[in-house]
Amino acid sequence: MSSIRLYSGPLSMFGAKAQIAALEKRIDVVLTMVPFEMKTLYEPKHPEVLRINPKRQVPVLIHGDVEIFDSTQIFEYLEDLQPTPPLWPSDIAARARARLLELKSDEVYFPHVIRLMGLQDRPDDPAAIAARAGAAAFYTEMEALLDDGRDWLAGAAFSYADIAFYMAQIFGDRMGAPMTAGHPRLIAWRERMGRRDSVRQVAGAMARYLLGQNRRVPDFMLALLD
């Protein structure tokens, strides 16, 4: 098998999703971290990222003549490449629900976090209040999924849905929309996530990077460094 190269970044939520998936699959990848600096962000863009992704963003994956971008597309490729252990449910209906949860993390929850990114100095702005309320409503929805005693968001087994939301909620917490005591099952789920070797390796590296930049690290991420 030719080598697999993954382009990510130290604060790329979507790149981290792909990294965790590869580790869970026990797929060796050559990881290229695109430098990040607050004033210039990911500029200048890596030439391979520019060549492959018209959106000019990580993650990008290259495997022989396969060149793809977008964390969900990378998920699907890794699942086909290495079917075991499976990270989607085997049942067709359960798999559809899990895929929808992964999509909702990116497209329903995370837009609230994006809005907060530009409002850090204006927490009382109506847009910031609305964004925090939207994030809280999503937490309540995810809390309800765990009401039946399941350990993972999509059912009995760990899945890509868990990877997606775990990484997204890191940024929600950092931007001022944390989970609260009103979400005890979800907080317990997050603790289970933090005990997985793949999560500790990837999210722990992100925590160390933030500490090195003298930026706030959520308390639950500090536990990943133990």
The Cα–Cα gap between 95 and 120 comes to 37
User: What is the reported pLDDT for 2?
Assistant: 78
Kindly report the pTM of this predicted structure. 0.95
| CA-based nearest residue to 69, from 57, 82, 84, 79 | 57
User: What is the reported pLDDT for 225?
Assistant: 93
Long-range contacts for 37-40 (Cβ within 8 Å, ≥24 apart)? 38/213
In the chain (226 residues long), the average pLDDT of successive 10-residue segments reads 90 97 97 83 85 95 97 97 96 96 97 93 93 98 92 95 98 96 96 98 97 94 92
User: What is the reported pLDDT for 79?
Assistant: 97
Q: Indicate the domain borders of the chain.
A: 4-81, 92-225
CATH superfamily for domain 4-81: Glutaredoxin (3.40.30.10)
The Cα–Cα gap between 205 and 211 comes to 10
User: Is CATH 1.20.1050.10 what the domain over 92-225 is classified as, yes or no?
Assistant: yes
User: What is the reported pLDDT for 147?
Assistant: 86
User: What is the reported pLDDT for 38?
Assistant: 67
Upper half-sphere CA count for residue 58 (Cβ side, 13 Å):
29
